[in-house]
Amino acid sequence: MFSFDQHTLSEALSADLPMILEEHQQLLQKVSVKEIAALALLMQEAKRIFITGAGRTGLMMKAAAMRFMHMGFTVHVVGETTTPAILKGDLLLAASGSGTTSSIVKAAEKAHAAGAAVAALSTTTQSPLAALAQFVLLIPAAQKQDFNGTISRQYAGSLFEQSILLIADALFQTIWKLSDAAPEEVWKRHANME
């Protein structure tokens, strides 16, 4: 399928790795730290947190769910067989770059109808998901079909997906640091049947 040599690959990687990091540094200067803190407050107030995202964004959200569980939050991933019904007092944390992904919008509609809060992570505040959300964390990254590379030189929404993981890990790190929880205590929640 491909026939690259090691030298060509090494040279390309030497350019692409710093480019990806540079894009994140530029993006994170545009994301409001106060808004991320506001999201942390919503998480603290929630009885339970429900997490949803599709595709690679969904994988990043599952990684976030794991870390939030390690911190002691009661977290459920939408669509898993053991996920209970969302109720008033719960929080749906929904990520969609476009804010139009049908399964994510439907989850937000159901959460809204049940009286749960909805917080969206998205590249836009003008979408069906944003309209349902009480809170939108705007992440000004490229959407999947930004083929001209004006926002990101990476492929198909990669910058948005990667930023979900970075922001979630920053949330975890900050909450953990401020909680003074010993690493050994947090570790007790780590899976022991891997």
Q: Which residues are catalytic?
A: 161
Q: Which of 33, 40, 75 is nearest to 189 (CA)?
A: 75
Q: Which of 92, 134, 89 is nearest to 110 (CA)?
A: 92
Residue with tokens 């990520």: 95
93 φ, ψ (degrees, to nearest 5): -105, 105
Q: Which of 15, 35, 63 is nearest to 168 (CA)?
A: 63
Would you say 101 and 120 are in contact if contact means Cβ atoms under 8 Å apart?
Answer: no
Tokens describing residue 122: 């998205």
